[in-house]
Structure 1
Amino acid sequence: MKVNVIIEKDKYGYYAYCPELKGCHSQGDSLEEVLKNIKEAIHLYLETLSPLEREEYLSKEILTTSLEVSIA
């Protein structure tokens, strides 16, 4: 299964969450740590779902991009 993960970095470390799994998020001091932590959080989250819920939650397609904008 593939799950979308958004990772944000700020002065305190890394924060990760899964848009299609509401409430599934984690953090870490490094990119490696946050990836390990979010993978564990996803695994635990998916264990709480029924097979039908898993199929519904993981069938979403989420697209991301970066846009360059100018400020006048």
Structure 2
Amino acid sequence: MEYPIVIEQDQEAGGYVVYCPTLKGCVSQGETEEEALENIKDAIKAYLESIEDLKRRHKLKTVEVSV
């Protein structure tokens, strides 16, 4: 599955900051752009696993929206 990401160079601390705008709070970073991209993949996987855990524990509900 593909997720949109935004990657920006961190002018103050150095390295790169990357986040997935469709997954609230899913942010990572890396010293290089390649490292940041690998780290956001791990962050997205962890985010999705936490969503599945909430579903299993019946703490998360979903709704269907027609566009």
Question: Could you tell me the TM-score, scaled by structure 1's length?
Answer: 0.66
Question: Over aligned residue pairs, what C-alpha RMSD do you find?
Answer: 2.1
Instruction: Tell me which of 11, 18, 28 is aligned to 1:26.
Output: 28
Instruction: Tell me which of 17, 28, 45 is aligned to 1:43.
Output: 45
Q: How many residues align?
A: 54
User: Which 10-residue stretch deviates more, 33-42 or 9-18?
Assistant: 9-18
5+ residue gaps, structure 2: none
Bigger relative contact order (CA 8 A; separation at least 6): 1
User: Which amino acid letter does the alignment assign opposite residue 47 of structure 1?
Assistant: E
**Identity score, percent:** 50
Partner of 1:4: 4
Q: Deviations over 1:14-63 (max 9, x none)?
A: 00000010000000000110011000000000111147x7x98xxxxxxx
Moved segments of 4+, more than 6 Å = none
5+ residue gaps, structure 1: 57-72
